A and B are shown apart, each in its own frame.
Chain A
Amino acid sequence: MRVAVIGAGPAGMMAAMRLAEKKIDTTLFDEQPSAGGQIYRHVANLSQDEAQQFGDDYAIGANLVQRFQSLATGPSLTPIHGATVWSVSEDRNVAWSVDGKSFSQAFAAIILATGALERAMPLPGWTNPGVMTAGAAQILMKTAGYAPQNAVLIGSGPLLYLVATQMLTMGKPPIALLETQSVMDYGRAALKLRPSPVVLSYMLKGLRMLRQLSQAGVARHKAVSDVKINSVNDKAMITFSQKGQEHQIEAETVLLHAGVQPNIQLSQSLGLAHQWSGDNQCWEPEIDAMGRTSKAHIYIAGDGGGILGADAAKRSGQLAAMAVMADHGVPVDAAEIAHAIADHRRYRSIRGFLDTLYAPKPWFRLPHDDTIICRCEEVTAGTVRGAVHLGCLGPNQLKAFSRCGMGNCQGRYCGHSVVNLIADVRDLTPEEVGYYRIRSPIKPVTLEEIAHHDIIN
């Protein structure tokens, strides 16, 4: 029996290692040159001190990657780095491309561990050069050892503060943070606080970061709305509203962040059942406590099944591996499973607070008509609304009428914006609206590769 794990972040690594320890032949596919996913990206290439700059959580990742790499030298675990998986079929054929050559292979079981994407934050000027996500800045710091300078960070969520403090450590303090959450949001979120070690740990980390920012004199503008970015001569002029007044701030780099959502490209292309998460305001795959999906022999681990963070992802990787084993006649310890499920559940305790505090705001969830919604095909919110008035019931009709979602990113950065807009115009719930039909190839691949891909037995 051969199992495929797709994604070498914490979930994927733990799942693959668990299977390999039980001598189950496992192939782990990952696009990056080394394991780590996004959260532990590049960690194996940094020294202890360099890694520590990004915080304890990142440095811990180094241990995990090292353990993974040593297991990968064994016979059961085959990592394929630099691999772009472009198709996973329902009958579990994985097609991938490495260095311009494609292959396909059938597997007995597949664990998807493809992690998350940042929520799109469409606002006027968000497509300008010099505007990136907070995650992008973090990748620059980890993989290239520098931070963007004279940056303004806009949005909400733990990552906003994490990136800001990491930039402090790299000697490039941000000019300011423009935070979207309001006093009311804090009040509502406080009601969702549950006493638990996970919550306590989060709060302490958060307070520590806020103190660092305060000590460094980084300005924090709170409860901002109607942000617009105007780029003139390599500088970004940012205007925003606060307490009914308009303000302006200049920056070289603008970093946006409005939370993180599961990356559902592969899970959607497989036709797996998804459910709408009212808390995180996005579509998530339907999975059981061990990561089983609506299709037999296909499992999901990590943030790709719902945002719970790296520690939860590690636990979920183990659970998915145990589910594979349990479903394919390999003995698993029921007590261990029960303990792992209970442990995994703990990480949910912080979600109510975070999702309520950092819920996306209407001014970018439902932007003005002239804001670009589909970056790839340059389709505006106004065009989307107009198409709905013309009879587009859902995202797929909309694709046909406006090309929205047809470009290179295949809906990664417009899918949920479109769902929100259609729901708003038609007065429906997002569940009723649905989502784009996602098709392979999940990433572009040449016709030559597709025509002549090697089928591995």
Chain B
Amino acid sequence: MQTEADYTIIGGGIVGLSVAHGLLSRGHSVICIDGTDADFRASRGNFGLVWVQGKGFSAPHYAAWSQRAVREYPKFVAGLTDETGIKISLQQTGGYEYFTDMEALKSRVKQFETLKKALGGDYPYEILSAEDIRKAEPMVGGDTVGASYYPHDGHVNPLQLLKALAESCQKKGLSHYLGERLSDVRHSGNAFSLTTEKGLTVSSEKVVLCAGLGAKVLGPMFGFKGLVRPQRGQVLVTEKLPPVLNRPSVTIRQVNEGAIQIGDSKEEVGFNDQETQSQMARIASNAIKVMPKLGQLRLVRSWGALRVMSPDGLPIYQESKQMPGAFLVTCHSGITLAATHSHNLSRWLVGAKDAPDLSGFSEDRFND
């Protein structure tokens, strides 16, 4: 393992490893400083959605970025399987959002139309009637009045993805330091020298901060605002079934191993990832309203996890003005963006000519 490289990435979750993968694929040497087993690790607590629908209503550039991201997925996943032999379950045949309230559905259609216009018509959503959605998904019934559908949405097994990414990066020569906490940053000229609490020192020309909620404390060490906050989401996981759901929805999906995962909540409770009886009841109740047969399934486990939320919910991509060469990469949709974080974000990090325009995601938008 090296202690000197072109890039040091802080954080070895889905975002950090996707970025590492992209840089390693471009021939750069990369070090990753990663935290501990007890850290919050949003990469372990997410819904696995590869999703466009519902994003960017007030920020069309984010919708477009997500559209691009899901297009990159098949090649990305196939490449990882080729490199590691690890099968990654990926399905991209569209996804739903179910509605039990007609007014809410109508208001969603308005949002879609506005966004579609802003994207020059490139937003192929569909609306399914109560009858049509029941035909498309036999489990749906109860109070469901309709559903929205986006054909390029889908889901992936996020744990298989994470495992394959870790192995692929390892094969490509990543120096991956585990169980570390950054304590000191020195920047002089073209080099960063980073020291951890345990006394490990690494140096690199560039640093990419992908530490999720850690950006709040670590960000300012590099001159970033680090405006991230935790937002709790709870998820229920049922026993395993034979395939009964054809496509995922934003709150209900059947994973490849057979269990049905049901979300979610959006709670502002600080750094608390505890599951609660009241939210479990609410999530279960809402799911049963849409799919009555879910009621008879047994819940095997539940969990809570902390999303990494910026003030407007969009990713933050920023090069430090105080310490050029340091980059902040953070988002709550690390799964959806994994492929593009590897393939396209890397262009921005290396300063390539064909780098995407990410100005809409800079920290400047938070200037008041």
Contact = CB atoms under 8 A, between A and B. Distances in A.
Quick check: do A and B touch in the complex, using CB within 8 A? Answer: yes
Interface of A: 87, 89-90, 93, 95, 104, 271, 387, 390-397, 399-401, 403, 406-408, 410, 434, 437, 439-441, 444-448, 450-453
Contacts of A392: 37
A445 B298 contact: yes
Given A394-B36, A441-B301, A400 B44 contact: yes
Contact of A410 (B166, B178, B287, B301): B301
A446 B296 contact: yes
Given A406-B301, A410-B301, A446-B299, A440 B288 contact: no
Contacts of B262: 447
B275 A440 contact: yes
Given A89-B276, A391-B166, A451-B295, 19 more contacts: A391-B178, A394-B37, A394-B38, A399-B44, A400-B162, A401-B162, A403-B159, A406-B301, A410-B300, A434-B37, A444-B299, A447-B238, A447-B288, A447-B299, A448-B284, A450-B280, A450-B299, A451-B284, A451-B285
A395 B239 CA distance: 22
Given A450-B299, A451-B285, A440 B37 contact: no
**Chain B: interface residue count, which band?**
35 or more
Contacts of A397: 37, 41, 44
B167 interface: yes
Nearest to B158: A400
A374 to B, nearest CB: 14
A231 to B, nearest CB: 25
Contacts of A87: 277, 280
Interface string B283-311: 01101100000111111111100000000
B170 A390 contact: yes
Interface string B43-64: 1100000000000000000000
A407 B257 CA distance: 11
A69 B303 CA distance: 38
B44 A444 contact: no
Contacts of B167: 390
A444 B300 CA distance: 5
Interface string B20-50: 0000000000000010111001011000000
A90 B274 contact: yes
A312 to B, nearest CB: 32
Nearest to A95: B277
A271 B298 CA distance: 24
Interface in B239-284: 239, 257, 262, 274-277, 280-281, 284
Contacts of B210: none
Contacts of B159: 400-401, 403
B169 to A, nearest CB: 9
A87 B288 CA distance: 21
B287 A447 contact: yes
B285 A444 contact: no
A446 B295 contact: yes
A90 B276 CA distance: 10
B50 to A, nearest CB: 18
B179 interface: yes
Nearest to A90: B274
Contacts of B11: none
A453 B281 contact: yes
Nearest to B167: A390
Contacts of A271: 274
Nearest to B289: A451
Interface string B161-182: 0110011001000001011000
A439 B294 contact: no
Contacts of B297: 446-447
A344 to B, nearest CB: 33
